[in-house]
A and B are shown apart, each in its own frame.
Chain A
Amino acid sequence: MTRPTVDLRPIQPPLPRPRPLAHFFTRPQVIALVAVLLVNWALFPGFFTITWQDGRFFGSLIDVLNRGAPVAILAIGMTMVIATKGVDLSVGAVMAISGATAATLVTNGIPAPVAVLAALGTGILCGFWNGILVTVLEIQPIIATLVLMVAGRGLAQLITEGYIVTFSDPLLIFIGTGSFLGLPMPVIIAVVLMIAATLIVRRTALGLLIEAVGVNRSAARFAGLKANALLLIVYTFAGFCAAISGLIVAGDIRGADANNAGLWLELDAILAVVIGGTSLMGGRFSIPMAVLGALIIQSMNTGILISGFSPEFNLVVKSAVIIVILVLQSPISARLFRRLPGAQK
């Protein structure tokens, strides 16, 4: 029996090449960031002023980048965890462990480069531990990482023996407060990490495979993906990112505060990822957009500080702006926008 040769498929013109730049500026996150910055400018006319002093830039905008860097770095690692349909609540505590490790080692006379590597190593170890709980023991990520979130601060206090360990090591201080090419070190580190992580996941198959695991872990297994190995890598990387943030925060205050370093920052990081458009249901993710999310959060913090409102006000404004951003991203508003004349092509 011969098959009919009629092609039932609709004739489809080839899709136009996407224009990345135009597309970028119409994203709700970018619009939100610009709006927040403009409001800051209205409240504080000197907001966009940047001056050059002592070989580096100064200004509120630079402050936003500098203060936002630790959360941005956490968000880079958190994006990949959330893409696998997981979450890492322990990153704030891991920051404290990393800072405590570095500070305690240098005050005991260990060379600073060794201390830095050791701090990064503990972060990696913490992430690996989370990964083992999630993969081998198959504990739900939110519970698995809650273990280290609670226990981590205790570990950090054991390392510092309950004190705030202060130091005057130039390398550690440089990581937190130094500058390179006129920009603060934390900003440089965040940008380099963002570019490197994005290139690695997009130039290799890792990005696609991580998304596949997040969309359907069972199907990933049936398709021959090494889902557990991918999960281990992702959680380990989140721990590594947390360790870097921990070093920055410790260097900034020239000491390790096991109780307060990175406190609640895991929630800011999760928020940054969600604002960046990565769903908590896993799947599609974007590292640069998560970094953008971290910048939106920090712009609001800075804006409220410099405009003279009380910091308590911060939390209310922040939640209001976040609700607006999330509503803009929701499928319902997408449908509403499509109905507007001219929105449909």
Chain B
Amino acid sequence: MTDQKPVLEARGIVKIFGQHRALDTVDFTANAGEVHALLGENGAGKSTLIKILTGAYQPDGGELLLDGAPITLRDPLHGQTYGIGTVYQEVNLLPNRSVSENLFLGRQPTRFGMVDRKRIDAAAKDLLSRYGLDIDVRAELSEYSVAVQQIVAIARAVELSGKVLVLDEPTASLDRNEVQRLFDVVRTLKAKGLAIIFITHFLDQVFDLADRVTILRNGKKVATQALNTLNTTDVVRMMLGKDVAFDHHPTALTGGPKGQVRVQFQGLSRKGLAPFDLSIHEGEVVGVAGLLGSGRTEVARLMFGVDTSDTGQITVDGHPVAIRNPAQAVAAGFGFCPEDRKLDGIFGDLSVRENIIIALQAKLGWFKALNRDDQVELAGRYAEALDIRAANHDMPVKLLSGGNQQKVILARWLAIDPTFLILDEPTRGIDVGAHAEIVRTINRLREEGLALFVISSELDEVVAYSNRIVVMRDREMVAELDGDAIAPDAIVQAIAGTQEARP
């Protein structure tokens, strides 16, 4: 693939923020008809490079060449006129307008000065059929799944630009089938000769889709290489500059003696979720596996009182407790790291310190205020224990990377000295280094005697830290795997429903 024609080329790009060199003389080339993956830990300079390639930032040094001719991009719109289009993780289209309007917004065909709706709809249908989508283009975009929205966004970007397509973490909120569907579209575009730049946190997807990879670390380029000459360990080592501590060859934990029962859920249910019984012991991690929409998150929300249960009861250390809202759950010693960190977890404008102490403060009540020294001490202790990387603890937490934000939420719950911790997708969308640390932290908390309930889509990960695995399918707990039975294959079978007959 090396003899291909370079389309977009960046030479010696430098970008400086304040005193920080975000990019230090980085070279990057996207060839026609290739998928070029861009990898790096959070803060390595991936998004800065992308923003320069699309025109959102202007470089402080170096030059951009398109088809060999130097160009200067004023803004992404200007980049689009040169043929450079971008699709972001969060689809930035108009959810409450129709699919066809989204595709043709800003360039609607008109008839007598009026928008020609029929022509738009026909053109949209024709356009999407080329992407293997046969949907009602007159329906609102928000009625479709994120995967379909992504494909619509890609179709729009390719229509508008058509030379270079930047995909910035397009798969972060998609399930496995949806990812495959998206990849089929990308492969078609590649065959048409587009240069595709692909950014993701999922290494297996990189190996699945990309031809070459460029790896950044601390604003410098580590390597650009063809992927068929590399394996996962090489890539991870280059990204981190060290060997990862996370065991990529999971071995099941031996069942071992468990402590006392910490929390017990009996017959808990809610409309649309079958009743379940579950007891979790001291020093035990119960992992939850299942596809998206299988009811995993709903179980967690019910346990924590985010949704109120219709039936069932909860006991903590043998005493029944009423949990009708999260405040009562916190009072009972529960903690919950929600799936959507930004929406339900982080107080973006508050400081790292305040984000760490907030749950403890809520638990203590309004009148037992933690004074500043207590807060500084607590935040310092847990930031160190979890290795939270922040210049200082008075900076707004929104300035931290995703992995560090996740650790801040974890620290928030550790600060209340919990008896039971629920983690919903604790490693989603965070970089490899922080990922390994979160997994290590889960193992450490288990050893320290905490009871944990961990939901994850990554089977290897669940297997690596769970004593027991609950498998969910169709909003029901369908299987429980214990001890030696814990293995990715067995989980897949249980999810697919081939091992156990349905009750």
Contacts and interface: CB of A to CB of B under 8 A. Distances in A.
Given A203-B369, A226-B327, A15 B392 contact: yes
Contacts of B345: 219, 222
B350 A204 contact: no
Prevailing SS type, chain B contact patch: loop
B326 interface: yes
Contact of B306 (A9, A203, A216, A222): A222
Interface stretch (B172-180, B288-296, B354-362): B354-362
A4, A206, A209, A219: most-surrounded residue (chain B CB, <10 A): A219
Contacts of B348: 215-216
A337 to B, nearest CB: 15
A225 B360 CA distance: 10
B365 interface: yes
B344 A224 contact: no
Interface stretch (B53-61, B252-260, B310-318, B328-336): B328-336
Interface centre among A9, A208, A209, A223 (most CB of B within 10 A): A223
A225 B347 CA distance: 13
A246 interface: no
A3 interface: yes
Contacts of A204: 366-367, 369
B271 interface: no
A220 B346 CA distance: 9
Interface string B405-441: 0000000100000000000000000000000000000
Contacts of B344: 218-219, 222
B220 interface: no
A332 interface: no
Nearest to B346: A219
Nearest to A211: B350
Contacts of A283: 349-350
B306 A221 contact: yes
B366 A219 contact: no
A341 B98 CA distance: 51
A26 interface: no
Given A4-B242, A223-B359, A9 B366 contact: no
A221 B242 contact: no
A222 B354 CA distance: 15
Interface in A1-45: 1, 3-4, 8-10, 12, 15
B364 interface: yes
Main secondary structure of the interface of A (DSSP, over half): loop
A334 to B, nearest CB: 14
Contacts of A265: none
Contacts of B304: 222
Contacts of B391: 9-10, 12
Given A222-B338, A225-B358, A8 B389 contact: yes
Nearest to A279: B349
A215 B349 contact: yes
Contact of A206 (B327, B336, B366): B366
A205 interface: yes
A12 B392 contact: yes
B343 A218 contact: yes
A223 B358 CA distance: 7
A224 B362 contact: yes
A1 B364 CA distance: 39
Given A205-B370, A224-B326, 12 more contacts: A8-B389, A15-B394, A203-B369, A205-B364, A205-B366, A212-B358, A218-B344, A220-B347, A221-B306, A222-B344, A223-B358, A225-B327
9 nearest A-B residue pairs (beta carbon): A224-B330, A205-B369, A224-B362, A215-B347, A225-B362, A223-B359, A283-B349, A224-B327, A1-B245
Interface of A: 1, 3-4, 8-10, 12, 15, 203-206, 208-209, 211-212, 215-216, 218-226, 283-284
7 contacts: A3-B245, A15-B392, A215-B347, A222-B338, A224-B329, A224-B330, A224-B363
